[in-house]
Amino acid sequence: MDWGSGTFMERLGPELASRLATAGHHRTLSKGAPLFMEGEIADRAAVVVEGRLKLVTVSTSGIESVLAIFGPGELVGEVSVFDQSPRSATVTALDRAEVIIVPRREFEHFLADNGAAALVLIRQLCDRLRSSNETRSDSSESVAVRVARRLSALAKEQINGVGNEGVELPVSQADLAGWVGASREAVARALGDLRAEGVLRTGRGRIMIDDLDTLGDRAR
């Protein structure tokens, strides 16, 4: 299978990726369906095959914050599997998705038997830590820049470096607001400005990118 560039499965290489895939079983999620729930015991990890998943936390006041979005080839839920603690966030499907569920025991055996895979995982965890630090530093940027940066990164992941227009992202304005840490009103204004420039269009739970180059310029 042609996994996304730079993803966990792509970094593993064909042989190791195949071994991990055969260690689990496939599961299909409808839009909005949960994969993992915050607080549950972690007994499995998952690999995204198709579609996209979002990692969210919900505050005591009911405000949802999007921590990350995962696409094909990404590994999800591995941290809680390692420390065997309850899930710290909820993972749900942004659209129809297919995943490979890998039980904890099989996942641990896979890493124990394949040292190269363990190194790939360590590098991924380092990348995510670095990304988390960068996200915190982004808080000083304007909402418009944060919105453009998130959409640009997500669009580039989806097209995997091919083409620069006509990219459809299964992200709602509410998801985007939670992801950039801003109010829905501020995000709506930022999207409105990008619409006026012809950079993107918005639909029900969808954002269509028409000019990725200009979007990238607005992200700087």
Mean pLDDT of 170-193: 87
CATH of the domain at 116: 2.60.120.10
Residue where a domain stops, chosen among 137, 172, 200: 137
> Residue 206 corresponds to which tokens in the numbers above?
């969808």
Considering the entire predicted model, what is its pTM?
A: 0.77
- The domain of 123 spans 8-137
Look at residue 16 and give its three-state secondary structure.
helix
In this predicted structure, what is the pLDDT of residue 162?
A: 43
* Domain shared by 81 and 171, yes or no: no
Question: For residues 69 and 83, what is the distance between their CA atoms, to the nearest angstrom?
Answer: 22
In this predicted structure, what is the pLDDT of residue 161?
A: 44
**Residue 1 forms part of a structural domain:** no
Is the pLDDT confidence value at 13 over 60? yes
- The H-or-E segment that residue 88 falls in is none
* 34-90 pLDDT, tens digit each: 999 999 988 999 999 999 999 988 777 777 778 888 989 999 999 888 888 889 899
